[in-house]
């Protein structure tokens, strides 16, 4: 292998990715992702299997009207089913009807599948592959042959697996892709087989790895190091069972670690945004711990780590976060030292220095005390900013709740309703109000906003976007303390707050109060302080 070889990126998010559990994309979703992948720099976009469902047929029909910058749309299918009817095979003709310049077809390269699955002898299976590929090539298509179960087939019978690749090459296949379809191959096995294929055949070699053994990214990288020049995978690793090789992991490793040139340049600074967009369109929660693009990929919690990173980020970061469009984050917890708190304070433009230039001890002790009692500020930075400013004397609450009551009633149809009554003091004036809701937290939230909106109209746009409850010590049963995390939004910005108590309503109440105080603080409202 030389570094002068260029790597072609083949994205299967719209085909293999949609076979993952919980993934369901409309035609509009697929078109939106396709356009974004094209803008990012992907060379080949496998759009679906036109012979299997009307949705994919519609995708290919609409994709023809889109002008892609460099990406080629690829239709996917299998070899013909019957040796006697290759030219009339419905699947092959559906591929032609999709009118894509590139097609990918899979054929059996494991004797087990050919004999037991298709009932074909070794020679018959080879002939089926060759004639299927030749049929598409003769129609002017670039054919990418996916050698299904290649590594399992190679372990079982190298002769059989290699004969199938020979058949695909004889049929005119442009690229021979080695597939770890069951996802169980080990890197040394992939290296050995890929190197042999690379030295035997005169066609470009590709790699298509699944992640059932957690090795998909590693197997992809080692295949490239042993001759593969086409890399197949999906964004965020979505796909059948445990998923496919994760392109958001593989691509930066190819470029930043191996120094390889891609056939089409990608903008790596858009990688994190690209990965998050795909998660969003698929309605999946982002993987915070994903390499390179996860929210935690460049997050630092231990005080020693943070102190080192502040001096030179290379001490605990393998690349610069901005190279992949990510950001360095410092977390605040009971493991924090002065470095963590100073970093976050500077980020929030809060001056914390005492006479000696350090963070006041009472501030550090207060935050550690709160974290020890169950508060988690790494996931609730709005609450952290409030407590930090309160400790430094630059924040006082905008309102005080003097009294609150909640009544919960249960109806026969199973619905429970709640009524909340509040007495709130704002700048010496008392507002007494009530509201009902589908539960006690909802009722309290509605009552509090109703009481405050007369004084602070900007609170009318604030709404909850997420609500999480975690039991901190399940051994105490219903007496256990709980932590409530709330995410709020005003339609433009969003922020997270936290509350902790043995009473879930009280914990929720703490987070709600922090949420509205944070919005008011950020709105630069003059706070006259509460008159008791």
Answer positive or negative: Cα dihedral of 522, 525, 526, 529.
Answer: negative
Q: Specify whether 387 is located in the same domain as 404.
A: no
The two tokens of residue 472 are 């901190």
Cα angle 483, 487, 493 (rounded to 5 degrees) comes to 155
Answer whether 201's CB lies under 8 Å from 225's CB: no
**Torsion angle in degrees (nearest 10) through CA of 148, 152, 155, 161:** -10
pLDDT in tens, 102-160: 999 999 999 999 999 899 999 999 999 999 999 999 999 999 999 999 999 999 999 99
> Which run of H or E residues covers position 300?
strand 299-300
Residues whose CB falls within 8 Å of the CB of residue 512, separated by 6 or more in sequence, listed in order:
441, 444, 445, 448, 486, 497, 499
> Is the domain of 138 the same as that of 236?
yes
Residue 335: Cβ-neighbour burial (10 angstroms; 0-12, 13-18, 19+) = middle
Establish if 433 belongs to a structural domain: yes
Same domain as 416, residue 370: no
Tokens of 212: 């059932």
244 and 318 together in one domain = no
- 3-state class (DSSP) for residue 150: helix
Whether 503 is covered by a domain: the verdict is no
Q: Which pLDDT belongs to residue 330? A: 67
Q: What is the pLDDT of residue 79?
A: 97
CATH code for position 421? 3.30.160
What's residue 355's pLDDT? 47
Residue 407 confidence (pLDDT): 87
pLDDT < 50 stretches in the chain: 1-4, 334-335, 355, 529-532
Three-state DSSP at 508 gives helix
DSSP E strand boundaries for 331-461: 400-410, 416-426, 429-437
Same domain flag for 260 and 356: no
Residues 80 and 222 in one domain: yes
Q: Which two tokens stand for residue 267?
A: 């903008």
Q: Annotate 26-50 with DSSP letters as a single string.
A: -HHHHHHHHHHHHHHT-SEEEEE-T
Residues 410, 376 share a domain = no
How distant is the alpha carbon of residue 27 from its chain centre?
21
Residue 288 lies in a domain: no
**Both 155 and 112 in a single domain?**
yes
For 167, the enclosing helix (H) or strand (E) is helix 158-171
The token duo for 39 is 């803008």
User: Model confidence over 421-477: pLDDT tens digits?
Assistant: 999 999 889 999 999 888 888 899 999 999 999 999 999 999 988 888 888 876 666
Question: What are residue 234's DSSP bridge partners?
Answer: 246
121 in a structural domain? yes
Domain CATH code at residue 61: 3.20.20.70
Which of 348, 364, 391 lies at the terminal end of a domain, its last residue?
A: 391
Q: Are residues 315 and 170 in the same domain?
A: no
Sole residue written with tokens 């509460």: 530
DSSP per position, 112-161: HIIIIII---HHHHHHHHHHHHHHHHHTT-EEEEEEETHHHHHHH-HHHH
In degrees and rounded to multiples of 5, residue 390 shows phi and psi of -65, -40
* DSSP β-bridge partners for residue 180: 209
Question: Does residue 509 lie in a domain region?
Answer: no
- Domain span including residue 345: 299-391
What is the model's pLDDT at position 230? 98
| Residue 515 within any structural domain of the chain | no
Regarding whether 356 and 207 lie in a shared domain, the answer is no
Q: Considering the domain boundaries, does residue 309 fall inside one?
A: yes
Q: Please check whether residues 228 and 306 belong to one and the same domain.
A: no
Task: Among 409, 430, 455, give the residue marking a domain's end.
Answer: 455
Please give the C-alpha separations between residue 169 and each of 202, 293, 436, 464, in angstroms, as whole numbers: 9, 38, 71, 58
Same structural domain for residues 190 and 230? yes
Domain count, the chain: 3
Does some domain include residue 495?
Answer: no
Domain boundary among the residues 391, 423, 443 is at: 391
pLDDT at 334: 45
């Amino acid at each position: 292998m030389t570094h002068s070889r260029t790597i072609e990126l083949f994205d299967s998010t719209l085909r293999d990715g949609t076979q993952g559990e919980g993934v369901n994309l409309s035609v509009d979703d697929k078109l939106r992702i396709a356009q974004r992948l094209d803008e990012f720099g992907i060379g080949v976009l496998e759009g679906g299997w036109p012979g299997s469902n009307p949705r994919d047929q519609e995708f290919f029909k609409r994709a023809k009207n889109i002008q892609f910058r460099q990406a080629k749309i690829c239709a996917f299918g299998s070899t013909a089913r019957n040796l006697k009817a290759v030219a009339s095979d419905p699947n092959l003709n559906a591929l032609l009807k999709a009118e894509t310049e590139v097609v990918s077809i899979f054929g059996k390269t494991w004797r087990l599948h050919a004999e037991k699955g298709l009932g074909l002898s070794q020679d018959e299976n080879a002939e089926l592959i060759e004639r299927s590929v030749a049929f598409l090539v003769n129609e002017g298509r670039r054919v990418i042959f996916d050698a299904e179960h290649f590594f399992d087939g190679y372990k079982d019978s190298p002769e059989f697996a290699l004969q199938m690749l020979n058949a695909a090459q004889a049929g005119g296949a442009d690229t021979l892709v080695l597939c770890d379809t069951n996802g169980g191959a080990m890197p040394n096995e992939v290296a050995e087989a890929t190197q042999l294929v690379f030295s035997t055949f005169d066609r470009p070699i590709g790699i298509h790895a699944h992640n059932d053994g957690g090795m998909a990214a590693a197997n992809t990288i080692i295949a490239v190091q042993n001759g593969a020049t086409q890399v197949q995978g999906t964004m965020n690793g979505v796909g059948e069972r445990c998923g496919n090789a994760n392109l958001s992991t593989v691509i930066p490793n190819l470029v930043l670690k191996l120094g390889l040139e891609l056939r089409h340049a990608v903008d790596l600074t858009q990688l994190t945004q690209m990965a998050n967009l795909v998660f969003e369109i698929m309605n999946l929660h982002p993987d915070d711990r994903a390499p390179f693009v996860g929210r935690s990929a460049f997050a630092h919690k231990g005080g020693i780590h943070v102190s080192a990173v502040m001096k030179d980020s290379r001490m605990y970061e393998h690349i610069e976060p901005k190279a992949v469009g990510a950001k360095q984050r410092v977390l605040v917890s009971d493991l924090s030292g002065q470095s963590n708190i100073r970093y976050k304070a500077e980020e929030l433009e809060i001056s914390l220095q005492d006479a000696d230039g350090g963070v006041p001890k009472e501030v550090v002790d207060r935050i550690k005390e709160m974290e020890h009692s169950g508060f988690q500020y790494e996931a609730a930075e709005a609450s952290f900013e409030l407590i930090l400013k309160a400790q430094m004397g630059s924040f006082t609450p905008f309102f005080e709740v003097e009294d609150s009551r909640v009544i919960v009633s249960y109806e026969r149809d199973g619905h429970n309703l709640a009524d909340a009554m509040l007495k709130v003091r704002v700048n010496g004036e008392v507002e007494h109000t009530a509201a009902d809701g589908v539960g006690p937290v909802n009722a309290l939230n509605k009552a509090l906003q109703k009481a405050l909106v007369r004084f602070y109209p900007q609170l009318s746009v604030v709404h909850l976007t997420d609500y999480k409850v975690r039991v901190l010590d399940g051994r105490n049963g219903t007496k256990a303390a709980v932590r409530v995390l709330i995410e709020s939004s005003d339609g433009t910005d969003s922020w997270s707050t936290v509350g902790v108590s043995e009473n879930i309503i009280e914990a929720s109440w703490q987070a709600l109060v922090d949420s509205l105080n944070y919005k008011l603080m950020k709105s630069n409202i003059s706070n006259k302080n509460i008159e008791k």
